[in-house]
Amino acid sequence: MKKIITAILVISAVAVLPLNAADTASSASADSAMFAINNLWIVIAAALVFIMHLGFAALETGLTRAKNTVNILFKNTAVVAIGLISYAAIGFSLMYPGESWSILKIIGFKGFGLSCPPGEAGLAGYAAGQYTYWTEFLFQGMFAATAATIVSGAVAERIKLGSFLIFSAVYVSFVYPVTGSWGWGKGWLYDLGFHDFAGSTFVHSVGGWAALAGIVVLGPRLGKYVNGQCRPIPGHSLPLAAIGVFLLWLGWFGFNGGSVLSADPAKISYVLVTTTLAAASGILSSMLISWLIQKKPDLSMVLNGCLAGLVAVTAGADVFSVQTAIFVGLFAGALVVLAVLIIDKLKLDDPVGAVSVHLVNGIWGTLAVGLFVDRISFTTQLLGVSAIGTVSIVSALAIFLVLKYTCGIRVGADEEMRGLDIGEHGMEAYSGFQIFTLQ
């Protein structure tokens, strides 16, 4: 009897071992598949954010004059390269310092260059198996370049190319990553519970404050304000501007959808719904308000209304209810129209409405999280907006003023009148059709 019992136990053990091994293999296979899917989605999202740079280029080109087209396209091309290289050299380590924090978690630095942990630690062992070190750098690097691109449109048609490129390199290397580290890098704002899901403040208002600083230091374009009156200087291609906005809207699916930082189908689909509905409601409210105020439906206002809704919802796309996202977009669309008109009244010349879209609605969207989401403190949101705004505007003003009194930041009057394409680049975007006028 004892031999029979022993035989049964041995057979049972042998039978169970393959099942346990199969379960382990199955679990490992599932983890590996999920890691691959997460990683693939974030890489695709990074590609969508990259497409946004083409959107910015098309929008800015369309809303400015034909004689500055080459200059606009050159800046938008160079900014991507500057943003990625500077972020690789120093920005990524400033923004995500890990344990290398200074006092009060205000600034930290892991070291120059990229330092992927060796072996599995930088691959499937990185970020709890969600994605690799390299994927995180790629995705966040695309964001970094966006902050400088926002400035490009605001200072268009009168800034020296070299000065703009120097500003972009310094701002993206230091200001953007340090302020971003306070939240996304788990700095002091993160500890307080500040919530900015995909960058209404960390990306858009940081770029918006720099845009405002540039406008103030540069002054308006020639012919914009004459005898106390504001003169419209229309862009040369509204079709190109419209294409740019639709490219930006497409890219926002990666901007916000990728910020889920996984391929979780429930989270991604929800974020994309709130994002899209905010954009649509921004279009409707900007159309209505601009129609009422200007007596005609203004396409440029509607295009900026779409972007305003996208910028505003970005802070809380993961926590807003559907109804709240629609309201946030509606308010953003109305706000951008009023902001454009007020900024013009203040004689702050912003050719593309960058301050109205990115700064004003970056602030609105971030504060809206504190207003409409119970578990998030409005006071903390206000503190974060104020702290980041103060550092951004002071830093941007300092950089622009140093450039102004050293190498200069504004082109000469003759060059501005002829157009920066000829003056700065010696070429035309539309050969044979250049018109040398103030308009």
pLDDT tens-digit readout, 229-261 = 889 899 999 999 999 999 999 999 999 999 999
Residue 436, domain member (yes or no): no
Residue 15, domain member (yes or no): no
3-class DSSP assignment, residue 364: helix
Mean pLDDT of 399-418: 96
DSSP result, 138-198: HHHHHHHHHHHHHHHHHTTTTB-HHHHHHHHHHIIIIIHHHHHHTTTT--HHHHHT---SS
Specify the pLDDT at position 31.
Answer: 77
**CA dihedral for 206, 424, 421, 80, sign (positive or negative):** negative
Number of structural domains in the chain:
1
Specify the pLDDT at position 28.
Answer: 53
Q: Is the pLDDT of residue 193 over 80?
A: yes
Specify the pLDDT at position 12.
Answer: 44
Mean pLDDT of 257-268: 96
Residue 161, domain member (yes or no): yes
Kindly state the DSSP code that residue 113 receives in the 8-state scheme: S
Quickly state the pLDDT bin for 225 (edges 50, 70, 90): very high
Q: What is the CA radius of gyration of the chain?
A: 25
| Tokens of residue 302, six digits | 């509607």
Residue labelled with tokens 């600083």: 213
Q: Rounded distance, CA 439 to CA 266, Å?
A: 50
DSSP result, 295-306: SS--HHHHHHHH
Quickly state the pLDDT bin for 47 (edges 50, 70, 90): very high
Residue 19: count other Cβ atoms within 10 Å of its Cβ: 9
Quickly state the pLDDT bin for 17 (edges 50, 70, 90): very low
Mean pLDDT of 42-58: 97
Kindly state the DSSP code that residue 90 receives in the 8-state scheme: I
| Tokens of residue 120, six digits | 């599995």
Q: Rounded distance, CA 367 to CA 380, Å?
A: 9
Burial 140-149, CB ≥16 within 10 A → b, else e: bbbbbbbbbb
Say what the pTM is: 0.91
Residue 26, domain member (yes or no): no
Specify the pLDDT at position 20.
Answer: 52
Q: Is the pLDDT of residue 437 over 80?
A: no
Q: Is the pLDDT of residue 32 over 80?
A: yes
The pLDDT tens digits for 134-162 are 999 999 999 998 888 999 999 999 999 99
| Tokens of residue 142, six digits | 């695309």
Written as one letter, the residue type at 379 is T
Specify the pLDDT at position 14.
Answer: 36
Residue 24, domain member (yes or no): no
Q: Is the pLDDT of residue 7 over 50?
A: no
Residue labelled with tokens 């809303």: 63
The pLDDT tens digits for 307-329 are 999 999 999 999 999 999 999 99
Q: Where are the alpha helices (DSSP H) in 63-110?
A: 69-86, 92-95
Mean pLDDT of 8-20: 42
Residue 225, domain member (yes or no): yes
Q: Are 371 and 187 in contact (CB under 8 A)?
A: no
| Tokens of residue 263, six digits | 């391929």
Residue labelled with tokens 């995705």: 139
Mean pLDDT of 89-110: 93
User: How many secondary structure helices (H) and strands (E) does the chain include?
Assistant: 17, 2
Q: Is the pLDDT of residue 296 over 50?
A: yes
Q: Among 184, 217, 221, which residue's Cα sits nearest to residue 200?
A: 184
Quickly state the pLDDT bin for 26 (edges 50, 70, 90): low
Mean pLDDT of 104-115: 93
Q: Is the pLDDT of residue 68 over 50?
A: yes
CATH (domain of 395): 1.10.3430.10
Q: Rounded distance, CA 170 to CA 188, Å?
A: 23
Specify the pLDDT at position 146.
Answer: 87
**The domain containing residue 189 runs over which residues?**
34-105+118-425
- Percent share of the chain, pLDDT over 90: 85
Specify the pLDDT at position 432.
Answer: 67
Specify the pLDDT at position 5.
Answer: 47
Q: Is the pLDDT of residue 438 over 50?
A: no
Residue 431, domain member (yes or no): no
Q: Is the pLDDT of residue 44 over 80?
A: yes
The pLDDT tens digits for 162-179 are 999 999 999 999 999 999
Look over the chain and give the mean of its residue pLDDT values, rounded to a whole number. 91
Specify the pLDDT at position 19.
Answer: 42
Residue 163, domain member (yes or no): yes
